[in-house]
Amino acid sequence: MGRWTEIDHTADLALHIWATDLEDLFTTAARGMFQLLTGDVSIESSHQEFFSLAALDVETLLVDWLNELLYLNEVKGLVFDTFAFDKLSPTRLRAQIRGALVREYINYIKAATFHNLEILKTEDGYETEIVFDT
Amino acid sequence: MVQKQDFKALSAYVYELPATYDPRMRVPARIYGNKRVFDMAFGDRSVEQLINVAMLPGIVQYAMAMPDMHQGYGFPIGGVAAFRYDQGIVSPGGVGYDINCGVRMLASEIDYEEVVDDLDDLATVLYQNCPSGVGGKGAVSLTHKDLDKVLERGAEWALANGYARRDDVERTESGGCLPGAQAEVVPDRAKERGRPQLGSLGSGNHFLEIDVVDEVYDVAVAESFGLAKGKLVVQIHCGSRGLGHEVCAQYLRQLQDAPRRYGIEIPDRELVAAPIDSPEGQSYMAAMAAAANYAFANRQILAHFARLSFEQVLAGKVPDWDLRMIYDVTHNIAKVETHKVKGQDTKVVVHRKGATRAFPPGHASLPPVYQKTGQPVLVPGSMGTASYVLVGTEHAMEETFGSSCHGAGRTMSRRQATRSVRGEEVRSELHKKGIVIRSGSMRGLAEEAPLAYKDVSMVVDSVVGAGIAKKVARVIPVAVIKG
């Protein structure tokens, strides 16, 4: 089960993420990002979205994944809490996600950035830091 | 890790790290600021980010940081760097996600003392007419065709559609329309995000503010700008909303492979770049210009609704309730400009990431009204504190590619700020100072509390000390509208 902690950044928001495998990494990063946006709100998922992404490498795929979720949040007002992957490799994913309409936010995130982004393979799984422009 | 002693003080306001510090640096790195600003720069990773900028291909003179510098994500905020057009790169991360985030100021003949009792109503009406907040929809609705015209014509579109006066457009940097903008290279998703948002402030540090001129340093220049002690002014700070964010994100993604294809070494993936004259570089420049034009139109439309708000509340109560444009500056942009490099006029792309253009008197890019004075440089302070109006100088052209600071600059993370102060306390402090506030979020107020920022006066004294801008006037807030 992955976990995250918020790291101080002078102007923006940043997360340190630990995860057991790739699926856990993508899920944990998404959960951490939505917590930055909404705080600890509980939602009753009633909306479902499906999408596929392909990217150059795993770092780009992670940024694409988070930015796809931010896009869905901005245009549909949805916050997601359930993430399932029909397919997930370092360069491709096909996801089914579930979420709900949320109107109250504590932060706004413009985008997930590539700043110093490196996904490290560790003995316990994966570890990374991601900076969000706010 | 870079240390203070690695830098050399060139003057009381300029510190330089020689290019020999790291073999990957192509030019020295310079920090503009007094000793205190210089010391504060080492409180986060902004110096490291500045050094990374000095490593990018085609950079000329120095990688520079203005005194409001702080950590960003790629370039430091406050960063200025110019790249040769024929041999250099353009970097979407050097412009940032909020393309053409900027600020405009409008002057008035309204005496603060005459309208003290109307400020509450003014703030309420402005809050209603100028939408703000997360996901806020804009004040105008656009068809897909209209949006393409906004992207290609910027403030000129606003003029053609009744949201501007000719004078507004002339007093906007680059006439409110960057050349070379192409709607067709703006990703569909960016258009989808931007179409409902035109005419909205957004959230974060964006704001609309009514201020009163409380100090005039240069009477003649202030008069040319339309500024007089005791009169109200309006400031509008916002950018290109979701459209700009999506343009940046998509081009950063597309360019992830460009360093390998073009043999460019980059120290941080956020600094991915393409040669300016490559198809990718040209495509980004055209999309960035389109997003910049959207932002110019956005601030213009908000100015239009600010005028209507003033009319709604003050018509008949004061002799003249009009708001007259002083200037609109962009502070997140890459622009094609000609500057002297080693004595030669050289075509460059100047990246200003949280920095303001500050062109001197006589510069061909300035409208006739500012030929004698130089360009107004608008420096908003943190919420509830003073803001400054400066003017560009010849020395800025010689040293900083005609650039100066853009604000106070954060020193404290949002999280630290919310731990240090509550939104209610911030609001109460502002009330005590007689400042009316309208904000969608208490947490937002805490995050933007003055304690999270440098003292804007110290930042301004630093650019004035370095000779890259001159003081014209200071304004203090009386009503703040925040997302």
Which residue among the candidates B351, B363, B406, B431 is catalytic per the annotation? B406
Element (H, E) at B212: strand B207-216
Name the residue range of residue B309's domain: 4-85+99-411+453-482
Residue of B nearest to A108 (CA): B134
Arithmetic mean of pLDDT, B98-122 = 97
> What confidence category does residue B473 fall into, taking pLDDT thresholds of 50, 70 and 90?
very high
Reading the block at residue B155, the tokens are 């403030």
Residue B445: its pLDDT value, please?
85
> What confidence category does residue B245 fall into, taking pLDDT thresholds of 50, 70 and 90?
very high
Strand ranges for B342-469 from DSSP E? 344-353, 356-357, 376-379, 387-391, 403-404, 436-439
Q: Chain B within 8 Å of A11 (Cβ-Cβ)?
A: yes
Arithmetic mean of pLDDT, B379-402 = 96
Domain count of the fold of chain B: 1
Q: Nearest CA to CA, how far is B419 from chain A (Å)?
A: 12
Q: What value of ipTM does the predicted structure carry?
A: 0.92
Residue of A nearest to B417 (CA): A10
Instruction: Give percent of chain B with pLDDT exceeding 70.
Output: 99
Q: What residues pair up with A122 in beta bridges, in sequence order?
A: A125
d(CA B337, CA B84): 10
Q: Specify if B304 maps to a domain.
A: yes
Please write the tens of the pLDDT for every residue from A27-37.
999 999 999 99
Domain count of the fold of chain A: 1
On whether the CB atoms of residues B91 and B375 are closer than 8 A, the answer is no
Candidates A57, A106, A108; nearest CB to B204:
A108
Residue B135: its pLDDT value, please?
64
Residue B99: its pLDDT value, please?
98
Q: Specify if B240 maps to a domain.
A: yes
Please write the tens of the pLDDT for every residue from B258-268.
999 999 999 99
Q: Do A56 and B256 touch (CB under 8 A)?
A: yes
Judged against a pLDDT cut of 80, whether residue B166 lies above it is answered with: yes
Strand B102-111 to B231-238 pairing: antiparallel
Mean pLDDT of chain B, nearest integer? 95
Q: Specify if B42 maps to a domain.
A: yes
Of A7-11, B343-347, B460-464, which gets the smallest average pLDDT?
Answer: A7-11
CA nearest neighbour of A77 among A46, A50, A40: A46
Name the residue range of residue A46's domain: 3-133
How many other C-beta atoms are found inside a 10 Å radius of the C-beta of residue B279?
9
Arithmetic mean of pLDDT, B435-454 = 87
Please write the tens of the pLDDT for every residue from B34-46.
999 999 999 999 9
Q: Do B74 and A115 touch (CB under 8 A)?
A: yes
Arithmetic mean of pLDDT, B49-76 = 97
Candidates A10, A55, A67; nearest CB to B410:
A10
CA-based radius of gyration for chain B: 21
Q: Nearest CA to CA, how far is A1 from chain B (Å)?
A: 25
On whether the CB atoms of residues B287 and B182 are closer than 8 A, the answer is yes
Residues of B in contact with A114 (CB under 8 A): 93, 252, 256, 268-270, 272
- Domain with residue A124: its CATH number is 3.55.10.10
> What confidence category does residue A82 fall into, taking pLDDT thresholds of 50, 70 and 90?
very high
Rounded to the nearest 5 degrees, what angle is found at the Cα of B345, between the Cα atoms of B340 and B347? 100
- Domain with residue B208: its CATH number is 3.90.1860.10
Rounded to the nearest 5 degrees, what angle is found at the Cα of B211, between the Cα atoms of B210 and B214? 170
On whether the CB atoms of residues B467 and B393 are closer than 8 A, the answer is yes
Judged against a pLDDT cut of 90, whether residue B358 lies above it is answered with: yes
Q: Specify if B91 maps to a domain.
A: no
Judged against a pLDDT cut of 70, whether residue B368 lies above it is answered with: yes
Q: Do A12 and B73 touch (CB under 8 A)?
A: yes
Residue B203: its pLDDT value, please?
83
Residue of B nearest to A113 (CA): B270
CA nearest neighbour of B91 among B254, B227, B204: B254
Residues of B in contact with A6 (CB under 8 A): 415
- Residue B318: DSSP 8-state: B
Active site residue B406: yes
Arithmetic mean of pLDDT, B233-247 = 97
Reading the block at residue B158, the tokens are 């606003």
> What confidence category does residue A11 fall into, taking pLDDT thresholds of 50, 70 and 90?
confident
Strand A92-101 to A47-54 pairing: antiparallel
On whether the CB atoms of residues B331 and B115 are closer than 8 A, the answer is no
Helix ranges (H only) for A1-134 are 22-38, 58-76
Residue B256: its pLDDT value, please?
93
Residues of A in contact with B270 (CB under 8 A): 113-117
Instruction: Give percent of chain A with pLDDT exceeding 90.
Output: 86
Candidates A60, A105, A131; nearest CB to B253:
A60
Residue B483: its pLDDT value, please?
73
Judged against a pLDDT cut of 80, whether residue B133 lies above it is answered with: no
Residue B204: its pLDDT value, please?
80
Q: Do B270 and A117 touch (CB under 8 A)?
A: yes
Q: Specify if B432 maps to a domain.
A: no
Residue of A nearest to B97 (CA): A110
> What confidence category does residue B205 fall into, taking pLDDT thresholds of 50, 70 and 90?
confident
pTM of structure:
0.96
Amino acid at A106: I
Q: Do A115 and B270 touch (CB under 8 A)?
A: yes
Residues of A in contact with B412 (CB under 8 A): 10
Residue A102: its pLDDT value, please?
94
